[in-house]
Amino acid sequence: DAKTTQPNSMESNEEEPVHLPCNHSTISGTDYIHWYRQLPSQGPEYVIHGLTSNVNNRMASLAIAEDRKSSTLILHRATLRDAAVYYCILRVHAGGTSYGKLTFGQGTILTVHP
Amino acid sequence: NAGVMQNPRHLVRRRGQEARLRCSPMKGHSHVYWYRQLPEEGLKFMVYLQKENIIDESGMPKERFSAEFPKEGPSILRIQQVVRGDSAAYFCASSPRQLPDTEAFFGQGTRLTVV
């Protein structure tokens, strides 16, 4: 799988927007960009995914650079519950047949201050 | 629609015993994935199964570990003759179709402690 690079940690204040960056300079044309997060002592939770266009859902927005070599997860108003490890993952098609392995890196530890 | 259910949530085994971890995917999901998270480490893929078939087991240790997803019933991750190094959180996820163009839903995990 293509490699992603994320900052080890970021901090934010409650009710402020948070922009979590991810670099993936070796991304290929068929790679989807997935974001998951893991709250303390819980299982990972899907946040959002996209291919080329920016995506919005109830949790967050995903902004994908035009050349697709980077993306940014945007939390519009951080809450204390958003404190978690955020993972940016590329999921590739393998030989035309996609399959299910999500490769988690170290992620970004997001701290939200009251 | 209930989420991915894993049981037990906590499991304590003595060295040499067997551990059986169960995962019931979300209703309508036929794709199941198992991950392991060692203390203070990241999530590592173990195995991907579709009903009655192992699709990718590239992350499974070669010995003592096995997984199944029968036609009826939950997926089972089985660890024989457990050792202290098997102590970890084991997470199961399911999806309605093959990734990557869909999301995976994770359970709350089984925390295995080997004493």
Query: Splitting chain A (114 residues) into consecutive groups of 10 residues, what average pLDDT does each group show?
Result: 88 96 89 93 93 92 95 96 95 57 89 96
Token digits of residue A101: 């392995």
Question: Which of A32, A41, A102 would best serve as a mutation to test chain B binding (most B beta carbons within 10 A)?
Answer: A102
Closest Cα in chain A, distance from residue B72 (Å): 21
Tokens of A94: 């393998």
Q: Which of A36, A42, A87 is closest, CB to CB, to B108?
A: A42
Q: What is the pLDDT of residues B52-95, one digit of tens each?
A: 899 889 899 999 999 999 988 999 999 999 999 999 999 999 99
Task: Return the structure tokens found at A67.
Answer: 């050349």
Q: Whole-angstrom Cα distance, residue A77 to residue A74?
A: 9
CB atoms within 10 A of CB B27: 10
What is the distance in angstroms between the Cα of B96 and the nearest Cα belonging to chain A? 11
Query: Which chain B residues touch A101 with a CB distance below 8 Å?
Result: 33, 45, 48, 56, 58-59, 99
Please check whether residue B75 is in contact with residue B53, taking contact to mean a CB–CB distance below 8 angstroms.
no
Q: Which residue has the tokens 């295995």?
A: B112
> What's the token pair of residue B56?
């990718």
Note the pLDDT tens digit of each residue in B19-55. Answer: 999 999 999 999 999 999 998 888 999 999 998 899 8
The dihedral formed by the CA atoms of B9, B14, B18 and B20, expressed in degrees to the nearest 10: 0
Query: For residue B85, what is the DSSP state?
Result: G
CA-to-CA dists, residue A101 to A46, B55, B61, B69, angstroms: 14, 10, 16, 17
CA pair distance B33, B93, nearest whole angstrom: 5
Nearest CA in chain A to B111: A41
